């Protein structure tokens, strides 16, 4: 397994080198909109401390991260009036991990709906900003 790359896209977002539609931030985690959403409100939650995935994250950081994931998931479900959500987390390329910084996907769903395939085009930035504002208001 490879080591953590401090130049991955999420590390750049954490350093403010790349933009993101943030929905929640505290001393330990950052949550922001996925730019290739599988459903409206698809949100990513990442730890601020570097780790590649579940295999190398510090257990205490993981506990803090999961408390944040739960908090953000509640706001996403409330803001999107979702009937439920999927929580996804991938480890290494063979399992589908594309960004090698530990992260969780919160994907809201409604009855009878399944998240779609990964879009080929980035989502509309104004739409992402509007959904992010709805989620922020739900905390």
CA angle 103–105–106, rounded 5-degree value? 135
Q: Is 103 a catalytic residue?
A: yes
CB atoms near residue 66 (< 10 Å): 14
Separation between Cα atoms, residue 80 and residue 60, nearest integer Å: 30
Cβ pair 23, 132 in contact under 8 A: yes
Q: Which two structure tokens, joined as six digits, stand for 35?
A: 């730019």
DSSP H helices, the chain, are 9-14, 59-80, 125-137
Neighbour-count burial of 47, counting CB atoms closer than 10 A to its CB (0-12 exposed, 13-18 middle, 19+ buried): buried
Catalytic residue among 42, 101, 103, 105: 103
Catalytic residue positions, numbered:
103
């Amino acid at each position: 397994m490879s080591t953590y790359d401090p130049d991955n896209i999420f590390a750049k977002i954490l350093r403010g080198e790349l933009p993101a539609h943030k929905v929640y931030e505290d001393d330990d985690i950052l949550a922001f909109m996925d730019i290739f959403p599988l459903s409206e409100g698809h949100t990513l939650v990442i730890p601020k401390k570097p780790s590649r995935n579940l295999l190398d994250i510090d257990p205490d950081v993981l506990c803090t991260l999961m408390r944040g994931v739960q908090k953000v998931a509640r706001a996403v479900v409330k803001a999107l009036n979702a009937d439920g959500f999927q929580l996804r987390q991938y480890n290494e390329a063979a399992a589908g991990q594309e960004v090698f910084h530990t992260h969780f996907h919160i994907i809201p769903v409604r009855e009878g709906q399944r998240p779609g395939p990964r879009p080929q085009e980035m989502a509309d930035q104004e739409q992402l900003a509007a959904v992010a504002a709805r989620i922020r208001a739900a905390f």
